[in-house]
Amino acid sequence: MEQKEFKPFIPAEQHVAELTVKSVLLGSLAGVIFGAATVYLALKAGLTVSASIPIAVLAITLGKRFFKTTILENNIIQTTGSAGESIAAGVVFTLPGFLFLSTGLGGQSSGEAFFNYMTILILAILGGILGTLMMIPLRRSLIVKEHHTLPYPEGTACASVLQAGERGGNFARTAFWGLGFSLVYALCQKVFHIIAEVPAWATRQTNRFLPAAQVSGEITPEYMGVGYIIGPRIAGVLVAGGVLASLVLIPLLATLIDPLRAARQLVKIGLLADLNTAGGAGNWDPVTKTFADYPKAIYQAFVKQIGAGAVAAGGFITLLKTLPTIVSSFKESIGSIKQQSEKAAVKRTERDLSMKVVAFGSIGLIVLMALLPQVPGDTFLGKLLLGVLVVIFGAFFVTVASRIVGLIGSSNSPVSGMTIATIMGTCLVFIGMGWTGKIYEPMALVVGGMVCIAAATAGATSQDLKTGYLIGATPKYQQIALFVGVIVSALVIGITVRILDTPTTEMVKQGITHAIGTETYAAPQATLMATLIKGMLSFNLDWQYVLVGVFIAITVELCGIKSLSFAVGAYLPLSTTLPIFAGGAIRALADWRQKRKAASVEEEELGSGNLFATGLVAGGAIAGVIVAILSVIPAVNDNLQLVSAESWLSSVLGHEGYALLGVLFFAGMGLVLYRVSRKKNDTAV
């Protein structure tokens, strides 16, 4: 009876413009922008931040002021747009793994043929539709019946933004200021190179105290913004993993392992052609039998596999901790389906799409996967099995993801852990059927990828439906808007992935054919998924390194620390986690100052600091995508080299002075973020 007692902002009896052409178009545009930005951020850092709140802020600013949209139309804008971010996260966390599967004929990955626009597009659309479909029967049990139990933090915050916009507010000014500041900073860094991109300090391999240690930071605005948004606790755990890898494991292994052993390991994992060929990770010299960059060689050969084991264990531990939630979610969802069949909803705010849509949509998805040539598999029955596994695992983990994000928010959802469990389960099914070897690796990745996309979409969809429930939206219209958002966003996400994967002129000269997988776009989760699939289906996983990572994660978990965040930090280079930690430290300082003044600490997403940080993330990521697009055009890339000030500044200031100048600019941006965070957000018209 709780849903009858609850009174939404717009009563069920009141009919307001909602699913209109302008709301869907504006939402689709937002989905395209934030989907492309999420692709960039996830490929570089392996992290994403929720786009729902910034899209809601843009909706009340651009929609209400310039297009005269209603609050329910603004909700459709936010709902449609949020699909882009969730689809992008699922795609980037898994599908680039096609490039890292076992090598076949010609030295190419067995999955490289499937890393094309059409395959990415189809899998993204089908995975997103699956996540949305499975949320239709769950809405009444999770959003309505458990309204007072599951807060859905991002969804509640979005509802607050939309209601404030209806009453009158000026939330977006700070976010736009952050966006503009970030674009100018990124222009100076990525185009004119006034600001160094990755200042670094390193010790020699012969250093007797700390050999082959390196401290570096990719001092970009998006990393600082991410650190501020996730807060000091998670940012601190992330950088702790990076410290363990860069200042403990790499110096230790550099002391114990000679370069020749490291080179053999790089050859084994495919990062060096052979011992007589120069180049590869760390720039191997076959004449002197040394590396130009030994820390990088050690990281790629050993530490990355240790980190992969830690991430796998951290994700699995997170999943195990949610088992009670999994069981209760399934019970609630089954009960909800029975209730729907007994009594149809009549109120506007209770109208969902029919269960027939869910049933026929799921069957259609299985059939499409069996028929489409873009899906890996040689036989109709084999591809049909893929479709069945996708629907079974998808229904299971959509339920899990939907409840988890209701408690801890979308940004903290253990989607990677769910994907790891899916891949391991799929590989075990394959092994039981005798499907081992490299030809089945792409098929296993398809199942994991689509379930990852579905789980990520379901998490975002849950937040959107919570927003709609609070403000009085029509669920049916939101579900239709989500389908539109999934399709439109997928069209651009595939293009963005392919553009960012295009190697620059310098990469081509080095024989690099894919930018994804390099230091520029490390794609950490996708690399991990490929490593697991290769190891399980070939029975050739480097268990000695993987198990070290597993027990590191267990040790950290026993210390009461979230092992998944620590493991991701150990897997990523310190250059990624250190600037994120800087953003978290600024958040901690701002909160401490507010506590001293007896002011309310900024815990919600509506404060000035969070809005400015959101602008930093969006602006930096958008600038990165634009520069990446321009860099793959040879004529434009040559002109970009002409306007670079790096050589001149390095000659005037020296290499160290140029790096220090970049650090000072980054510190200046941190000071601006801190000053903004201390101001109260103006909600007056």
What domain range is 367 assigned to? 21-173+356-420+445-508
Which residues is 109 bridged to in the sheet? Answer: 103
The pLDDT assigned to 107 comes to 62
pLDDT digits (tens, 9 = 90+) for 276-298: 888 877 889 999 988 988 888 89
Q: How far apart are CA 23 and CA 28, in angstroms?
A: 8
C-beta separation of 242 from 571 below 8 A: no
Count other Cβ atoms within 10 Å, centred on residue 79.
Answer: 35
Count other Cβ atoms within 10 Å, centred on residue 341.
Answer: 9
Q: How far apart are CA 463 and CA 176, in angstroms?
A: 24
The pLDDT assigned to 572 comes to 77
Cα radius of gyration rounded to whole Å, the chain: 25
SS3 per residue for 520-579: CECCHHHHHHHHHHHHHHHCCCCHHHHHHHHHHHHHHHHCCCCHHHHHHHHHCCHHHHHH
Residue 545 lies in a domain: no
Residue 535 lies in a domain: no
pLDDT digits (tens, 9 = 90+) for 112-132: 888 999 999 999 999 999 999
The pLDDT assigned to 683 comes to 45
Q: Which of 421, 411, 390 is nearest to 326 (CA)?
A: 421
Please provide the size of the chain in residues: 685
Q: How far apart are CA 117 and CA 500, in angstroms?
A: 12
pLDDT digits (tens, 9 = 90+) for 433-470: 888 888 889 999 999 999 999 988 988 888 889 889 98
Q: How far apart are CA 589 and CA 600, in angstroms?
A: 14
Q: What residues contact residue 370 under an 8 Å CB cut-off, 6+ apart?
A: 380, 383, 384, 386, 387
Q: Which of the residues in the chain have pLDDT under 70?
A: 1-5, 45-50, 104-107, 153, 164, 167-172, 269-271, 315, 318-319, 322-346, 404, 407-414, 417, 598-606, 625, 628-629, 631-634, 680-685
SS3 (DSSP) at 486: helix
Residue 53 lies in a domain: yes
Q: Which of 466, 458, 411, 403 is nearest to 159 (CA)?
A: 466
Residue 685 lies in a domain: no
Beta strands in 145-208 (DSSP E): 200-202
Count other Cβ atoms within 10 Å, centred on residue 428.
Answer: 11
C-beta separation of 245 from 295 below 8 A: no
Provide the number of structural domains found in the chain.
1
Q: How far apart are CA 458 and CA 134, in angstroms?
A: 8
Q: Enter the pTM of the model.
A: 0.72
Q: How far apart are CA 298 and CA 291, in angstroms?
A: 10
Q: How far apart are CA 342 and CA 353, in angstroms?
A: 16
Count other Cβ atoms within 10 Å, centred on residue 116.
Answer: 13
Burial of 511 (0-12, 13-18, 19+ CB in 10 A): exposed
The CA dihedral of 200, 203, 204, 207, to the nearest 10 degrees, is 180
